[in-house]
Structure 1
Amino acid sequence: MRVPLTAELLRPKSVRAKIVALLMLPIVSLMALWGFAAVTTASSIGDTERVKDVNAELLTPVAEFVTALQAERTAATRHAAAPDAASLETVEGAHKATDQAATAFRDGANTATADAELLDAGLPARIDRLEADARGLTALRARAEAGTDGKDPAQTSFTAYSTVIEHAFAVTGALTGENGTDAASEARVVLELARAREAVAQEQALLAAGSGAGKLTTEQYTLFAGAVATQRELLKPAVADLKPAHQAAYDAVLDSRSYDGLVAGEDRVRGAGPGASVISAGFLNDWDEAADTVLKGLAAAESDAGTGATAKANPFGWDTLGASGIAVILGLVGVLLSLLVSVGVGRGLIVELLDLRNNALEVAGRRLPQAMRRLHAGHDLDIDAEAPMRRLVGDELAQVGTALTAVQRAALKAASERAELQSGISGVYVSIARRSQVLLHRQLDLLHQLEQRPRDPAEVQELYQVDYLATRMRRHSESLLILSGIAPGRGWRDPIPLTDVLRAAVAEIEQPGRVQIWTVPRVSLHGGSVADVIHLLAELVENAASFSPPSAHVQLRAARLREGLLIEIEDSGFGMDEEAMAEANRKIQSENVDLLDAKQIGLFVVSRIAGRQGLSVELRSSASGGATAAVLIRENLIRDDMPVHDAALPGDQDRGQDGGRTLAPASALIPRQRG
């Protein structure tokens, strides 16, 4: 059954992740429940804090602004009805108090503007309207004093101020949804009580408006009767809906003598009807005194039941936290205990697994490769000291550790046996190569003597061919020595011109006539590196000739660079794909030579020579479709001669038999060795 891709991606990959996932699942579930309780509790605390902020920034300033407007409305209507110095002074004092309240309201509104839309979608517009009313108080007062549309100034003042107060109640009404803490009574009930207080203030303002004439007009009487009805319909029923702790202050007002005098005055005015002269100076003074006392008592009780209770609310008190706070604390204790137990169990298991993993990585990444390198270098290795076998008796993890040690010992034993085998093969290579060299040197000397004797030209050419074959056999014999890590016996004392080095390298391949040597820089190579460079170039040239068509030429170029001397061998064969090219370069650049790898032995020879002389060798694709071998000889192996302009060396000159041309002996193309 195939696992879905999503499940495969979500599945833990490491052992640590799997153990953590197994142990953390119940903890995460418990933490989710605890998080829900914590978020709920934090939300309650945040609501309480937000309500306190709303109360301090908006509700309290609006309530104080309304109270100031009510007092100014009464003073303005009284002065408009009966102007005198005392009433004017009262009006000016009311103006100052209202202006201060308006300033406080605007400051609070500016502070709460960012959160206004979050509290209620229509609240910003209501606040803007009330702020416009606060800024327009001067114009309102001017209209109230002059009157509008031929109306009585007292009536105009009453209407204008009442409109602003109604706008203020609209702002308060939008905020009642936020004023919902347990410490305060239901916000809507408090708003109804505020409207009842506004009705009493309207009654006082209307009687003040009629104080000049000693009676109420029909319009004023209608408004007065409506205010009385509103006050009586809202006040007592709303008080009954308050919390018992907040009812006492209202009950004290309702049971007071001042409230009884207020009610009696209301009944007297309503009973007289419109146009009746009932507002005498004595009546108005007594009624105003009772109304002022009632208004102050209602304002104090309203503050205690609404904004005052909210301001005293404790976000971290029992009323806010309650049982949810206990659940949060107990849940946190449970989560911590679960974490401690899970971490203790999981950590022990993870530590054991990590130790096992680290030991395995240590063996695979450091100890085993180091041991392999020592074996390849020919050093002895004590397997018991490198990987001591321990008989561990314990749980499954201990048994895995024992098995890992056994695998390590088996790998070291196999590598040791292979190293011994390669050492034996290397010894065989050296023995065979030494014997072959002796015979080949004797053969070359004999051939040289035969070539010097007068003979038929055809016989001389055949001797030359045998000379070339013997030269190639000597190179192969030297390759065995190089693979075994031993330098070949040939060497030069003096520097050898690069031209002779290139000719000697070409002379050691089977078909030297296929090689074209182009213009060669006027430089020489130090004698100690000549044999290795000749051998390396011969291997690369022969490789190029072997993997190109018999009729194609191999191009041999040399150029002087700032970094040294660059020699390029380019063939016109079928080239190599990227994988084969990368594998060949890997063998050339590898420090380890596997004598058991019979493929492309010449590349291993090139690798050994390049490493010994500090040469850089790289195979790459050529523009003609074949392959190019680039050899960079460092400055320390080169000596510059006097610069001259050499002509290009023809590829068939003294290189081999090509179209009937004369073949020169290989010994004539190889520089004379040191004595």
Structure 2
Amino acid sequence: MPMFKARIGVRTRILVIAFVPSVALLGIGAGTAGYLYVESRNAHDWLTVLSSTTGMGAPLVDSFEQERMQSLWHETGLPDPVALAQARTNVDQALRAVAPVQQMANANAYGKHNYASDGFNQLTDSLPQLRGAIDAGALPIDNVYGIFNQVLDGIITSSEAVVKDAPDTATSLQMVTSLRVLMAVESLSRSIALTGVVLNGETLSPALLADYRDQIGFYRTELPRLASQMAQPDAGVVKTIIASPAWQQLATMEDYALHLRTSKSGVVPPPPISVADWHAAGADIGKRMLEVWKAGSVQSNRAALEAVNRTSNNAALAGGGALAIAVLAFVIALLLANRLIGRLQLLRTQTLALAEEQLPNVTRRLAAGEQLNTATLSATLDFGTDEVGQVARAFTQAHNAAIDAAVTETRTREGVRAVFLNIAHRSQIVVHRLLEILDEAESRQEDPAMLDTLFRMDHLATRERRNAENLIILGGGQPGRQWRRPVPLVELVRSAIGETLDYARVQAAKMPESHVIGAVVADLIHLLAELVDNATAFSPPESRVAVTGTVVGRGIVVEISDQGMGMQPADMDRANVMLSDPPDFGVGTLSEDSRLGLFVVAQLAGRHGISVRLAESDYGGVRAIVLIPASLLAAADSHVDHLPDRFTRIPDPPASGEFPSLAQQAGRRPR
């Protein structure tokens, strides 16, 4: 998991943080728009179903009610073959018109509803058998009445299903009112049909008689209630129907039929009105109520159309608005994320430029001794006042503090170097004066014991002079000893050996007859003296140190080999790295185990392009290989300087292998 996190950049994380909620919101917006679109489409499909079924509803209901009434009257001995045949023809025509509308309605319902039940289809399919049984008088009245009622109940049930899918409450209430009118019309039709059966002298069964009472009570109660709840002009039409003579005639005949069926006197009174007038009154009221239902259906369709259009518009506005807001949020998130990423990338570029280019360049220039104006070197990263700007200001402060620290460190180092140079020059003056006095005393002294003491003091003073020169070299200065003309290599090597306290242990082989240019003589003597001093210091007192010289293609190689314990490979590698690339001197450069002599050697070698490398000697010790490039060599001619005798007084060791004392050496050296 940490590796996975490490591979994810800031850009990816910011984009993920910005895109996840934006994409989620975009998905919600698209889903909302799609849902509203589907709802709008369903509303249009519902309106299509409603518009198609409304036109064929009235003829279908009226034709079935007429066939039911004529079939019941035919069963009770009051046949009207012409009216029955016409009613059946009307039913067949209405059913042929229903079939395609029913398929279209169910297709547009997308499986949500079945607007015509399987029972309704089975009943209508069995009409030929039903009609045959009625013509043959093979069905009881209750069965004929019940079968036709089931067909009409199926129509009402389908209408209820359409009402449930209304797009809003207002439309649904208006359609419920129209459905109540239809149910009242159906109740009125059933009452008229059963009244005719009673008037024909047929006795109703208890169940049929109870239903007769219920139907009469329902439409008489429902129509006045609808008249008070419906809007004009339908309410006025219903009230007119209720107040009409035909309504009173129907009520009078129904009361007569109910009283006739419940009378116990056995005497059948004559009807209050003629059957023809009653029949005409029923037909008139049924027709007018059917017109009220048709008018209510038209109004319901108009209201449904307005509701569907309103729903579609609202869905389009809401879906479009949600989608637009989601897209806008996504675009804003993308722009803000890219802007933040751009700022972070710019901050990264500028901070890396400061950290990897400007700050090292300033440090390098300060180390080279350039005088820089820190005011012009201060960085200014302007990224505003937010968190990114605060990070930029913090880095600016850190960068400026680093520059100030570098300037302070440079000044401190310059001060340390100045102190080194001051102390070294003071010491050098004293040492030079001491060597002059010692040289004068040696020239006047004949006592070997005293002369040996003076020689020892001479070597100690020479070593002190080299220490003073070390300080001058570390401080970046030049030692005082200078030669203008070339010097023989052999004298230069012998002078370097002579500056070593245990010079008697050093065995110098024959050197090539070459000359070193004067500007390099003092530094090369110092360099070789430090290497010889290290060889004698880190080897056994009874061992020898060999110094050899060889001419090579690139110049002259001087090798200094000791017989000591040598160096660890890691230490030797570090020393060679320092010798090949001498570091800038600083207080923190040297550690407790640092070899100051090698540091001075590295500085002198780097100053003149001399190559110095350490390797293991043949005896297990250390061999220092010094390559003096050909550019530092000069041809031998008459214009040659020779080192004073005091720099080259190194006798050859005795054959016995014992090292001579300084007094013995002084006795053999020329005066």
Band the TM-score falls in, shorter-chain normalisation: 0.3 to 0.5
Which one has the largest radius of gyration?
2
Q: TM-score, normalised by structure 2?
A: 0.47
